[in-house]
Every structure is written in C-alpha cells, then in structure tokens.
Amino acid sequence: MSRIRKIYLDEKEIPKQWYNLAADIKTEPFMSPDGPVPPEAWAPVFPMNLVELEYSTQRWIDIPEGILEILSRWRPSPLYRAYDLEEALGTPAKIFYKNESLSPAGSHKPNTAVAQAWYNKQFGIKRMTTETGAGQWGSALAFACALLGLECKVFMVRVSFDQKPYRKLMMQTWGANCVASPSNETQAGRTILEKMPDTPGSLGIAISEAIEAAVTDKSGNTRYSLGSVLNHVMMHQTIIGLEAKKQLQKAGIKKPDVVIGCAGGGSNFAGLSFPFVYDKINGAEIEIIPVEPASCPTMTRAPYVYDHGDTAKMTPLVAMHSLGHSFIPPPIHAGGLRYHGMAPLVSKAVTEGLMNPLALHQLECYEAGILFAKTEGIIPAPETNHAIAAVINEANKAKEEGKEKVILFNFSGHGLMDLTGYDKYLSGQLTDYELPENIILENLEELKDYPKPPVGK
C-alpha cells in the first residue's frame, strides 16, 4: 500500500470562511417592473440574514461556528485519487474527486441546507418550504431541518416523485412532508394541473409552489429555501473547493489543470470550481468545465437573458442563461439537472469566457457511471455521471496528447436512490434526446419584451 487513495483533513482544518465569487464577478441586479429589486423586497421570501449574504460582494465571509459544528458531522469530505479509473482508461492523467456522497443525505446539498436552516433558525423562522428535482436537495433540507428542529415542506417534481419513491421516504424519516408537484396545495400548482393534468412537472413549477406556500403563510414564521442558483447558495458550497485546494496541496499538487462538475442550477459545480475561478482570475491556467445534459442545454444553447427563476413568474427577473421559464425539459433521469436556467454567477462567468461548458447525452453518462462503479466501486448519482463522462473524455484526451494532466471533479452524490435509472439504462429502455432548435427558439419568444442584461465585462 505505497499509494494513498484518500486525502483527509482534520475536522479542525474545515475552512472557516466561504469564498464569494460576487466580489470578483459582477452579476446583474434582480429586476422587477419597478427596476432593480432592493434587499428588503425579499423579506417575505427569505430571512434577512440570508438576503444580506445574497447581496454581499465581500470576498471572504466568516462561517458561523454553529454551522461549522453541524458540517463537522461529515466534513471535511475526503479527496480521492481515482487510481482504478485511471488504470482502466490507461491514461497518464491524475484524476482526483471530492467525495460529497458521504454526507448523511448522500450529496453535496447539505452544505447549503445546513447553512440556510441555521440562518433561518437564527432569524426566528419555524418552518421552511422548498422544491426538489431528483430529491437530493429536498432530502438535504429535510436532514438539516431535523437537526435544527424546524418544520420542512418539500414540493417534489412529479416525474422524480414517481421514479424515486425512496426519496420521499427519506424526507419523511427525517420528519419532513413531501408532496408531488404540481400539487393541489397551491394556486400555482392548481393552475398548471388544470392546463396540463399529465405534466411531469419541472423545477420551475415546484419553485413557484414552494414560494407561494411560504409567502402565503399568515403566521409569518415560514420562509422559502432554494437549493441552487442564488449567490448565497453558491457561496455555501465553496467549502468543497476550498477543502480540495488544501487536499491537493497535501498530495503535492500545485494546481489542477482541469476542474469539472455537473451543472443543473450550478451549485455543486460552483462549490468545487469557484475557488479555482478565483485563481484563474488571478492568472492561473485552469480549464473549468460545467457539464449539462444535452436535453436541457442552458449554457451551451440558450442565451444570457433576463428571465424568471420559476414558471409562475413569482421570482423577479434574474440575469442568466435560460431556455425560458415555461420550458419543461424531457424527463431524463438526472432530475437535478432539469432546470430551465443557470446560476447567475456561473452564467456570468461563462459569458466572460472563464468556463468551457459542455453538454452530454444521457447514454454516454450512464456508461461512464457504470465504469466508475466497477472500478472505483461507488455507484454515482445520474447527475454526477455527467461529470464523470466529461472526466473520461478529458482523460482520454490526455492519453492522446501524452500529457500528465491533473483532473479534479466533484463526485456530487451517490446513486443509491436513483437506481431505477440504471435499471432502465441496463435494460435498454433509455434513449438520447436532441432538443430541436425550433423548440428552443419558440420558448424564448416569451422573453422578447424583457430587459436585456449587458453581455461581457
């Protein structure tokens, strides 16, 4: 055993500050018909201590002791060297991954769930509402609320609710209440159900329902929580990349050559990559690759526009890559990647040329996931498979070029709750889906009267 697979940090080495990319990349303001949205307008939706983080442009933000204490249940997460995957590929590349699947909820999502629940509790909130796609986020918030003694209500996108019954049970076991979205519990849900009773649902719809459920609670003790997209969520996740930096140093690696993560709303990708984007802004040569599904191609095929974050247009306008708020992606199994938009910070970084987004089809991703399961041993979440497929492409490129590249990726979650997708893949029931250009263009029509954000720096 001359080689070491897992690079650990002590609990005391958990980063004590989050990195805020908003200090280094200027995103556009949220817009309402009355102009830029001031922080106080968010008061019915989020607790003000989180709104403050959302608007902050301070580069380093202290992580409250109470949050560190809870994160220490599973953090720092180990950095793994993927020796066996390297060997199977015969690549000279060194592949490292942050194993975020070891959290009790099985993904990176608790990093922000715990932080958000903690800030809500500090603010006196008793009950949180949210949406979930694949279920990773909903179960993470259920977990965080259980530990902090808050009530939790989750609207889960119908297609995932049906495909992944265990996710609901997981949330239930932690004491949360989970319903399929669109539901009959909100006006937004009822409106959609009337028009499209058989809709598979979407993150956009579920967000509308969760916001409505929060802002219409007359007790004033309920707030909404978003598991991705927003600046403060990206910030909470940067603990992943900050740990990875320390761990690479321990492994004697000065910097990675390529950093890869899958991107739905953008949070796991941002969490790993933003600290390296900071280095890149400061001159380091690093290729940074967010990987999205070809069936929901926001960064690679959608424009950088102003659009709503949800389908019922309850959110203000957000400057981001978007396929249009009415876009309902086909029901691929990587439910966590079925979002019509992309985090503003990720979107802006893409427009500034700091990132090289890539879109992949699902069959290639499942194939990559199975190779990973049979070499590294862990069954990845279908979302994570997108990152792995991109890693394999990069490792093969390194082999062709004969280069000893260092590839770092985020192993954002395990697939133990997503096995029906593997079953369908293995039994040949899955196909790839190329989104026709005219569907994208038709959808974008709905944005034609919206303001346009400036492009470039």
Residue numbers at the binding site for a second copy (CB under 8 A)? 1, 4-6, 8, 10-12, 14, 65, 68-69, 72-73, 84, 102, 104, 106, 143, 146-147, 166, 169-170, 172-175, 370, 373-379, 415-417, 419-420, 422-423, 426
CB of 390 to a second copy, least distance (A): 20
Residue with tokens 């018909």: 33
CB of 128 to a second copy, least distance (A): 16
103, 74 in Cβ contact below 8 A? yes
CB of 127 to a second copy, least distance (A): 16
CB of 171 to a second copy, least distance (A): 10
CB of 194 to a second copy, least distance (A): 31
Residue among 112 and 351 whose Cβ is closer to a second copy: 112
Q: Kindly state the tokens that stand for 273.
A: 């990559």
76 upstream amide cis, omega within 30 of 0: yes
Q: Could you tell me where the beta strands, DSSP code E, fall in 204-347? A: 222-224, 258-262, 287-293, 304-308, 317-321
Residue among 69 and 404 whose Cβ is closer to a second copy: 69
| Distance from chain centroid for Cα 422 | 21
126 backbone dihedrals φ, ψ, rounded to 5°: -110, -20
Residue among 106 and 182 whose Cβ is closer to a second copy: 106
Q: Kindly state the tokens that stand for 22.
A: 């908003």
Residue among 26 and 73 whose Cβ is closer to a second copy: 73
CB of 370 to a second copy, least distance (A): 7
Q: Kindly state the tokens that stand for 327.
A: 């876009």
Kindly tell me the burial class for residue 59, based on how many C-beta atoms sit within 10 Å of its own C-beta (0-12, 13-18, 19 or more).
middle
Alpha-carbon gap, residue 324 to 322, rounded angstroms: 5
CB of 234 to a second copy, least distance (A): 24
CB of 102 to a second copy, least distance (A): 6
Going from the C-alpha of 87 to that of each of 77, 257, 434, the distances in angstroms are: 24, 19, 32
Alpha-carbon gap, residue 310 to 410, rounded angstroms: 27
Residue among 36 and 165 whose Cβ is closer to a second copy: 165
Alpha-carbon gap, residue 97 to 387, rounded angstroms: 10
CB of 63 to a second copy, least distance (A): 11
- Rounded to the nearest 10 degrees, how much is the dihedral formed by the CA atoms of 33, 39, 42, 44? -130
Question: Residue 288 pairs with which residues in a beta bridge?
Answer: 259
CB of 157 to a second copy, least distance (A): 19
40 backbone dihedrals φ, ψ, rounded to 5°: -65, -20
Question: Residue 19 pairs with which residues in a beta bridge?
Answer: 60
Residue among 45 and 114 whose Cβ is closer to a second copy: 114
Helix (H, G, I), strand (E, B) or coil at 222: strand
Residue with tokens 């990845």: 380
407, 96 in Cβ contact below 8 A? yes
Residue among 78 and 92 whose Cβ is closer to a second copy: 78
187, 212 in Cβ contact below 8 A? yes
Residue among 46 and 411 whose Cβ is closer to a second copy: 411
DSSP string, 71-94: HTTTPSPPEEE-HHHHHHHT-S-E
Q: Could you tell me where the beta strands, DSSP code E, fall in 357-413? A: 358-360, 406-411
Residue among 109 and 348 whose Cβ is closer to a second copy: 109
Residue among 32 and 249 whose Cβ is closer to a second copy: 249
